[in-house]
Amino acid sequence: MKYSSAYRAKKRWRILVPILVVLLVVAGLLAAQIPGIKSRLAWRVEIAEAYLRGIVNPVESMPAPRGVQAAADAATPTPLPTETPDPATPTATPEISPTPTLTPTPLPATAKLVSPTYEKQDMNNCGPATLTMFLRMYGWEGDQYVISDQIKPIPQDRNVNIDELFAFTLQNVNWLTTGFRVGGTGETLKAFIAAGLPVMIEEGFTMAESYWPNDDRWSGHYLLITAYDDSRQVFTTQDSFAGQDLVVSYADLDKRWQIFNRVFFYAYKPEQEQAIRSILGENWDEAANRRQALETARQETEKDPRNPFSWFNLGSNLVYFDRYAEAAQAYDEARSRGLPQRMLRYQFGPFFAYFNTNRTEDLLELTEYALKITPNSEEALLWHGWALYRSGDKLKAAEDFLAALEAHPGYFDAQYALDFVRSN
């Protein structure tokens, strides 16, 4: 039997199409192993998962505070849930007597540092990428993966606290002295740059795309400051997400920086210590720094009572001084004025305040909300576990502590909590 050429061509395609499909699948799988492509695919998968969660379990605004009762005095005796300080609390640098107040030298109208080799952040790697650029300005030769492999070995870990960045430099770049303070000002940033020293900050950031329906698109972000210009009223920044040598106005930066209590991270060589002392002045002493930041936050709540971040900063600075009842009231004010959906991914002062004032229902509600936003947040898992423990559910508390350790292997606070629950 003879077949037409059209039939023979059709038959060939029936054989070739499955082969081509298999080849494309294999090629796709191989391409997915290329680091850059693999990272982009993982990022898209993470976005898809977050969006699906948002459809199934819609994200709404952060819950308002419950009716406050005088519960602090009736608090059930419970050992402190962690032996480490509040993650928002600066890790101590060596105590040295404060430097006598000196008359400040007027800053130049402009100053600029040589920009470091740019480091584009990988997925959820803003902190390590920004710290990489910061350390390169001191001669360090590593990259973001050297840092992230140590402090966030799981790529899906969405947050790196500033004290984790501090711990990395302390352990791995010990020829530098590093530190961080809160309550900074534009003049502080300029003073570092004028002295030839880069400075990092944490700020609020608006993302270009939504990750779930009704996403407010707010996120936390690190930024490296390398220059300023008074005539234009701008800082020059190195942004691991948005690009190199980007300018931001003084006013806009301060607005975004306020959200994180105007925290700043610095480093210096031994011969530069006097310059740092001069820049920090009374803020060289951490307690004095916190007192000043506390007063600034209090003044800002009076100047603009509708600003939730002023109230949040007030609460965070009160937590530093263990003034939990006052801190809880400040956080109540912040919540009642509306906070971003992801706020509790980055800052955990409310968990400390509500735990220590025996407001367990508030703690449960807030940690459950935080876990809806970030299911693998080790901090939210930790404090949700402590809330469950306070509620009498030791078994589920232990499950949360185990989940926190899975999300962040080696997480000391979760291991302490797990050991405590198992032995009590």
Q: Clarify whether residues 159 and 251 are in a common domain.
A: yes
The answer to whether residue 406 sits within a structural domain is yes
The range of the structural domain enclosing residue 306 comes to 58-85+288-422
Give the burial string for 57-83 (b: 16+ CB within 10 Å, else e): eebeebeebeeeeebeeeeeeeeebbe
The answer to whether residue 214 sits within a structural domain is yes
Q: Clarify whether residues 122 and 245 are in a common domain.
A: yes
Which of 302, 303, 299, 334 shows the shortest CA–CA distance to 316?
A: 334
Q: Clarify whether residues 294 and 307 are in a common domain.
A: yes
Q: Clarify whether residues 194 and 292 are in a common domain.
A: no
* Average pLDDT, 10 consecutive residues per value, the chain (424 residues): 51 58 53 51 62 76 75 43 42 39 77 98 97 98 97 94 97 97 99 99 96 95 99 99 98 99 98 98 98 99 98 99 99 98 98 98 98 97 99 98 97 98 94
The answer to whether residue 96 sits within a structural domain is no
DSSP string, 401-416: HHHHHHHSTT-HHHHH
Contact status, residue 401 vs residue 414, Cβ threshold 8 Å: yes
Q: Clarify whether residues 62 and 166 are in a common domain.
A: no
pLDDT of residue 51: 67
Give the burial class of 133: count Cβ atoms within 10 A of its Cβ; 0-12 exposed, 13-18 middle, 19 or more buried. Answer: buried
Q: Clarify whether residues 130 and 228 are in a common domain.
A: yes
pLDDT of residue 316: 99
C-alpha count within 13 angstroms, C-beta hemisphere, residue 397: 22
- What 8-state DSSP symbol labels residue 304? -
Domain final residue pick, 265, 284, 303? 284
Which of 63, 65, 64, 87 shows the shortest CA–CA distance to 359?
A: 65
Q: Clarify whether residues 163 and 293 are in a common domain.
A: no
Domain final residue pick, 249, 266, 284? 284
Q: Clarify whether residues 244 and 372 are in a common domain.
A: no
Q: How far apart are CA 202 and CA 393, in angstroms?
A: 36
Q: Clarify whether residues 238 and 384 are in a common domain.
A: no
- What 8-state DSSP symbol labels residue 80? -
Q: Clarify whether residues 162 and 138 are in a common domain.
A: yes
Tokens 């947050």 identify what position?
Answer: 159
CATH number at residue 296: 1.25.40.10
Copy the structure tokens of residue 193: 């740059």
pLDDT of residue 59: 86
The answer to whether residue 350 sits within a structural domain is yes
Contact status, residue 227 vs residue 111, Cβ threshold 8 Å: yes
Contact status, residue 347 vs residue 162, Cβ threshold 8 Å: no
Cα separation of the two ends of the chain: 86
CATH number at residue 193: 3.90.70.10
Tokens 């308002």 identify what position?
Answer: 64
Domain count, the chain: 2
Q: How far apart are CA 70 and CA 12, in angstroms?
A: 81
235: β partners: 228, 248
Domain final residue pick, 284, 302, 317? 284
pLDDT of residue 49: 75
3-state secondary structure of 75: coil
